[in-house]
Amino acid sequence: MDLVIRGATVVDGGGGAPYRADAGISGGRIAALRREGEPALTGRRTLDAHGLALSPGFIDMHAHSDLALLRDPDHSAKAAQGVTLEVLGQDGLSYAPVDDRTLAQVRSAITGWNGDGSDVDFDWRTVGGYLDRLDRGFDGQGIAVNAAYLIPQGTVRMHAMGWEDRPPTAGELDAMRHLVAEGLEQGAVGLSSGLTYTPGMYAADAELTELCRVVASYGGYYCPHHRSYGAGALEAYAEMVALTRRAGCALHLAHATMNFGVNKGRAGDLLALLDGALAEGADITLDTYPYTPGCTTLVAMLPSWAGEGGPEAVLARLADETGAEEIRRHLEELGSDGCHGVPIEWDTIEVSGVSDPAYAGYVGTTVRAAAEARGEAPWTTARRLLIGDRLGTTILQHVGHEENVRAIMRHRVHTGGSDGILQGAKPHPRAYGTFPHYLGHYARELGVLSLPEAVAHLTSRPAARLRLPDRGLVREGYRADLVLFDPETVAAGSTFERPRTLPTGIPYVLIDGRFTVEDGRRTDVLAGRAVRRTPL
């Protein structure tokens, strides 16, 4: 064997009882497992793992590392958590498929998520080209962790018909179908949407259903950030369930929770809806992060009509007094669709990052507090930020409910997803802490999940959704993407005050049988590659 892991407590990802065993690694795979009392394994290297749990590598079902993987070979934000695979292309906006016009627009639109990309060589235009770029990584050696990709529906719509709020023509719909099919053929695992983000939110159900039919024909899945997590949350979930059932498409609900005051204590309503659909044969999974605040961009709060025409059109409307007043009225009085149909509460909007250092003083304060310090209305402060920071401001939105978080994570189709935005001076701690927070806080400290259950939620369940036949379990023949952690000490180090602090209790992480974390330190190994859709 290349490596023998001796005496680990195997938490194998299947949800069953842990057991003590040695694991032999050879050629990047788990070559042998020997339980106590069985003949011992020998190898060129032996690692004493007594006191440590051995599990499959964690799969982040909702990641925003689309450019981070190409600019940061270390990528300890995820590698140190035990993440061995991230799913990119989320919320309907990412960098493939594009043409030159679309690329410039999407870079501007999601600067708050990923930076403006000025430090990245965009030498691809297709999904296949992007996956090839991930394979090459740094000097042809690869990337920090593996990555799968969802085709972003908003980018596809932008490519086919710009930023117009109207139904597509027959030709435009055909163009979108073609882009989706091409991306799936090139290795994407499904389709994402951001239905509170422009321009994806301009798509009606009929349009989305047609694209989902294409996804279904390739065995992929649809991952929507649906139309409301607030006033119309339950109806928005029901819309996605009905839409995908019509299309015959698998559904994976992104960061599935019930937020804002109108949904306090209503997780049971969502779970009842899902249980009913599952009982009727629907193919549904979901992901969540184990925190109450959300994270997005400040511009995302605006009403959808303000985004028509793209980022420059948004800035023009904000600069115009009449246009800005109408935006304010929708935000503060009517309940903007960008803010999930709920009138915005400025004391829940905390600035977490800015693109222009001139506005760094706003980071860590709520919009209301910043406005009060200046003796002005919150909208005046928000408008100044939006214009001056050219829509690049990221925010934490403190609108979640702990009882909803706990109820949803217990569900049998739940998986883990960080939704980790890595930009900004004060990012959400979920980017650095989601997976150890599940294991330490919610499993060990609170007992919301048992340790075997928690590991299954983070490994085999997402692997099954991604249709990966040799990942997500500790089994002979499976890929040696593995984590060794201490069940007694594993914990998230990241907090809202110090969000970039790395976790504790995860001393070893392997990808393809190679140590990416060893003795608690990130190595220089770049074993990650693009993980392409498994053909039907």
In one letter, which amino acid is 186? Q
Backbone angles phi, psi at 429, to 5 degrees: -65, -15
Tell me: pLDDT of 36 over 90: no
- For position 452, which CATH number holds? 3.20.20.140
Contact indicator for 362, 408 with CB cutoff of 8 Å? no
Residues 430 and 413 both lie in one domain: yes
Contact indicator for 191, 215 with CB cutoff of 8 Å? yes
Q: Is residue 280 exposed (0-12), middle (13-18) or buried (19+ Cβ within 10 Å)?
A: exposed
Given 348, 371, 398, the domain boundary residue is 398
Q: Which is it for the CA torsion 266, 396, 190, 82, positive or negative?
A: negative
Task: Tell me if 43 is assigned to some domain.
Answer: no
pLDDT of residue 88: 98
Residues 445 and 316 both lie in one domain: no
Contact indicator for 49, 18 with CB cutoff of 8 Å? no
Q: Where do the DSSP E strands lie in 262-421?
A: 284-288, 294-297, 349-353, 394-397, 414-416
Convert the pLDDT of each residue in 320-346 to its tens digit.
999 999 999 999 999 999 999 999 999
Convert the pLDDT of each residue in 346-363 to its tens digit.
999 999 999 999 999 999
Residues 94 and 199 both lie in one domain: yes
Convert the pLDDT of each residue in 177-205 to its tens digit.
999 999 999 999 999 999 999 999 999 99
Task: Tell me if 2 is assigned to some domain.
Answer: no
Classify residue 483 by its DSSP letter. Answer: E
Q: Using the structure block, give the residue that is written with the tokens 């937020």.
A: 259
Residues 286 and 324 both lie in one domain: no
Contact indicator for 83, 502 with CB cutoff of 8 Å? no
* DSSP code per residue over 318-349: HHSHHHHHHHHHIIIII--GGGTTS---GGGE
What is d(CA 330, CA 379) in angstroms, rounded to the nearest whole number?
Answer: 12
Task: Tell me if 320 is assigned to some domain.
Answer: yes
What is d(CA 500, CA 18) in angstroms, rounded to the nearest whole number?
Answer: 32
Convert the pLDDT of each residue in 91-128 to its tens digit.
999 999 999 999 999 999 999 999 999 999 999 999 99
pLDDT of residue 43: 96
Of residues 11, 18, 140, the one with CA closest to residue 529? 140
Task: Tell me if 51 is assigned to some domain.
Answer: no
Task: Tell me if 435 is assigned to some domain.
Answer: yes
Whether cis (ω within 30° of 0) applies to the bond prior to 97 is: yes
Convert the pLDDT of each residue in 487-504 to its tens digit.
999 999 999 999 999 999
Number of H helices, E strands in the chain: 18, 20
Residues 82 and 201 both lie in one domain: yes
**Mean pLDDT within 125-146:** 97
Whether cis (ω within 30° of 0) applies to the bond prior to 469 is: no
Residues 89 and 233 both lie in one domain: yes
- pLDDT confidence band for 536 (50 / 70 / 90): confident
Classify residue 142 by its DSSP letter. Answer: B
What is d(CA 430, CA 305) in angstroms, rounded to the nearest whole number?
Answer: 31
Backbone angles phi, psi at 398, to 5 degrees: -85, 80
Task: Tell me if 46 is assigned to some domain.
Answer: no
Residues 446 and 321 both lie in one domain: no
Residues 437 and 475 both lie in one domain: yes
Residues 246 and 303 both lie in one domain: no
Q: Two tokens at 315?
A: 């800035």
Q: Using the structure block, give the residue that is written with the tokens 């060794």.
A: 484
pTM of the model: 0.96
Convert the pLDDT of each residue in 396-425 to its tens digit.
999 999 999 999 999 999 999 999 999 989
What is d(CA 377, CA 30) in angstroms, rounded to the nearest whole number?
Answer: 60
| End-to-end CA, the chain | 33
Q: Two tokens at 499?
A: 């969000």
Task: Tell me if 53 is assigned to some domain.
Answer: no
Chain-centroid distance, C-alpha 201: 19
Integer CA distances (angstroms), 527 to 85, 136, 146, 318, 431, in order: 11, 11, 8, 45, 21
Of residues 417, 529, 466, the one with CA closest to residue 190? 466
Given 398, 424, 443, the domain boundary residue is 398
- The angle, 0 to 180 degrees and rounded to 10, between the axes of the packed helices 267-279 and 233-247 is 10
Q: Is residue 237 exposed (0-12), middle (13-18) or buried (19+ Cβ within 10 Å)?
A: buried
Tell me: pLDDT of 37 over 90: no
Domain encompassing residue 361: 298-398
Tally the domains of the chain: 2
- pLDDT confidence band for 428 (50 / 70 / 90): very high
Q: Is residue 213 exposed (0-12), middle (13-18) or buried (19+ Cβ within 10 Å)?
A: middle
Residues 72 and 186 both lie in one domain: yes
Task: Tell me if 45 is assigned to some domain.
Answer: no
